Amino acid sequence: MHTKQLEKYVGQEVTLKGWVANKRESKTVVFINLRDGRGLCQCIIGAEEIGEELFATAKSLGQESSIAVTGKVVADERQIGGYELHVTGLHVYQNARDYPISNKEHGIEFLADNRHLWLRSRRQWAIMRVRNSISYAIHNFFQNEGFVQMDAPIFTGNAAEGTTDLFETDYYGKPAYLTQSGQLYGEAMAMAMGKIYTFGPTFRAEKSKTRRHLSEFWMIEPEMAFCDIFENMDTIESFLRAVVLEVVQNCKEELEVLGRDVNKLTTVAKPFPRLSYDEAVEILKGKKEVNGQNSLAVIQADLDKAIERQKTCEAEIAERETIIAAGGIKKGVINFNQNKIDSLKNEIKQLEEDQRNMPQWLASARDFTYGNDFGGSDETVLTRLFDNPIMVYDWPHEIKAFYMKRNPDDPRFARGVDVLAPEGYGEIVGGGERETSEEWLVEKINEHQLPIDVFQWYLDLRRYGSVPHSGFGLGLERLVAWICKLDHVRETIPFPRYYGRLEP
């Protein structure tokens, strides 16, 4: 029996088991918001119905106490979930004391230290359910399309793209690295199965302190035989579309808890814009408009808006401070105003940070050097003009990995594709068509100064039945962050690992 089944038991007596999410009490009645992992249900405990002794127990319950309550289900539109329980019986598993996370705001460091408890909070509950739903939708899509799921090794001996950003471990006396991609193994498996996908952890020892990096994250890497860059982009597009729409369909309540505007997500039903690197650079530098909009002008307008907004916030703070200073008002009114002032001050801090960052983004976009990779801020500027994920393909071959196939019509370019999510979420997918020629690959491996020996097995794939093939890597946490519209990827995974964070 759980809170989502209550509608079938209106008027009947049921028992719910869960935790005390919140409690309010008066002389003869105690209200408990019971949390059971599925949802919430307010339980009303009246002194007369339950008896003096149990009522005293109910009154003494601390936040997150574990209990079982028995009572009659009553429909009540005002309640979360639409039902409440009129309690006649109470069993206490544990009466918890001093639960550290209150219903007030907390700082990020405190919450991260208490991640094991933070997961019980309503927003985190919603995020974890969306994450679960995304995983399920991903498997659904690939399984329906005939892909075979494979598990790539986590220990690797070859430091494929340089050792600096890999975690080194000891493997029976030899150095081994935690994988930063299963792609090369995926290619081998695709030659055996036709179409495969990996779904597993990935490790990067990058000392990044940004809202879109983790040291340990989950990546989904499909690989398809007999597939070129354009078929690859078709797959990426229908894949993302299917996953997002399925999640929007299945997580209505969760997305509502998160305050997510789902109209910003359902746009994925429309085709994704596809831009060549050259076109993207033109747009980024403000030399080419999109739907009559100039990228630099739009960011400049955002910056102006931030300045305006700060002035509005400051004026409102001054106004509320005057109200408090005037005196002669109730304590509740003072609290209300002080809370407003606090949150306005927080907003100003964010706005000030925006005002420090955005001029840098503008300068970076304006002065962008053709031939470079896009930086995080360039992605933000570029995607600001679109309401759907965009696909940027045909990159200068120098900045792409050694295994990327060169464009046969224009060898300056490699057939890579990056998918950039809207709303500033940046790169969620990176992929491309793979080089099929052993000769070209060897040349590239040497060019990148990589040890040729460890790639002999990889070159075998080009020696025995080499075929055009493509694939991509999807960052699960970045997808979760975008779908949930979160500030930071560290909220997208139960126990995030990022620079400086190993506990809990």
Which residues within the stretch 42-101 sit at the binding site for RNA (CB under 7 A)? Answer: 42, 44, 46, 48, 62-63, 76, 78-80, 84, 86, 98, 100
Q: Interacting stretch for RNA, rule CB under 7 A, among 137-145, 199-207, 228-236, 450-458? A: 199-207
Smallest gap from Cβ 391 to RNA, in A, equals: 12
User: What does the block give as tokens for 62?
Assistant: 């601390």
Q: Interacting stretch for RNA, rule CB under 7 A, among 124-132, 167-175, 376-384, 448-456? A: 376-384
DSSP per-residue string spanning 344-381: HHHHHHHHHHHHHHHHHHHHHHHTPPTTSPPPHHHHHH
Q: Which of 8, 174, 209, 463 binds RNA (CB under 7 A)?
A: 209
Nearer to RNA, 79 or 132 (CB): 79
135 contact partners, CB below 8 Å, separation of at least 6 = 199, 476
Q: Does 470 bind RNA (CB under 7 A)?
A: no
Side chain identity at 95, as an amino acid letter? N
- Considering only the C-alpha atoms of the chain, give the largest distance between any 2 of them, rounded to a whole number of Å: 87
List binders of RNA among 378-437 (CB under 7 A).
Answer: 378-380, 399, 426-430
Nearer to RNA, 40 or 438 (CB): 40
Binding mask 121-160 for RNA (x = CB under 7 A): ----------------------------------------
Between CA 469 and CA 408 the distance in angstroms is 15
Nearer to RNA, 331 or 463 (CB): 331
Q: Are 476 and 135 in contact (CB under 8 A)?
A: yes
Nearer to RNA, 31 or 250 (CB): 31
Q: Are 274 and 393 in contact (CB under 8 A)?
A: yes
Q: Interacting stretch for RNA, rule CB under 7 A, among 88-96, 168-176, 234-242, 484-492? A: 484-492
Nearer to RNA, 56 or 192 (CB): 56
Q: Does 174 bind RNA (CB under 7 A)?
A: no
Nearer to RNA, 240 or 248 (CB): 240
Q: Interacting stretch for RNA, rule CB under 7 A, among 123-131, 244-252, 458-466, 467-475? A: 467-475
Q: Which of 5, 22, 124, 266 binds RNA (CB under 7 A)?
A: 22
Q: Is the backbone of residue 477 left (phi > 0), alpha (psi -120 to 50) or beta?
A: alpha
- The C-alpha angle with vertex 333 and arms to 330 and 334, in degrees rounded to 5, equals 90
Nearer to RNA, 439 or 447 (CB): 447
Between CA 502 and CA 390 the distance in angstroms is 34
469 burial (CB, 10 Å; 0-12 / 13-18 / 19+) is: buried
Q: Interacting stretch for RNA, rule CB under 7 A, among 22-30, 128-136, 276-284, 438-446? A: 22-30
Smallest gap from Cβ 464 to RNA, in A, equals: 27
Distance separating the N- and C-terminal Cα atoms of the chain: 31
Q: Which of 8, 174, 331, 463 binds RNA (CB under 7 A)?
A: 331
Q: Interacting stretch for RNA, rule CB under 7 A, among 41-49, 126-134, 254-262, 299-307? A: 41-49
**Coil, strand or helix at 282:** helix
Three-class DSSP labels, 206-262: CCCCCCCCCCEEEEEEEEEECCCHHHHHHHHHHHHHHHHHHHHHHCHHHHHHCCCCH
Q: How many residues line the site for RNA (CB under 7 A)?
A: 89
Binding mask 251-270 for RNA (x = CB under 7 A): --------------------
**Coil, strand or helix at 336:** helix
Q: Which of 238, 249, 293, 339 binds RNA (CB under 7 A)?
A: 339
Smallest gap from Cβ 10 to RNA, in A, equals: 15
The DSSP code for 271 is P
List binders of RNA among 210-249 (CB under 7 A).
Answer: 210-215, 217, 219
Nearest 10 degrees: CA dihedral of 378, 382, 388, 393? -80
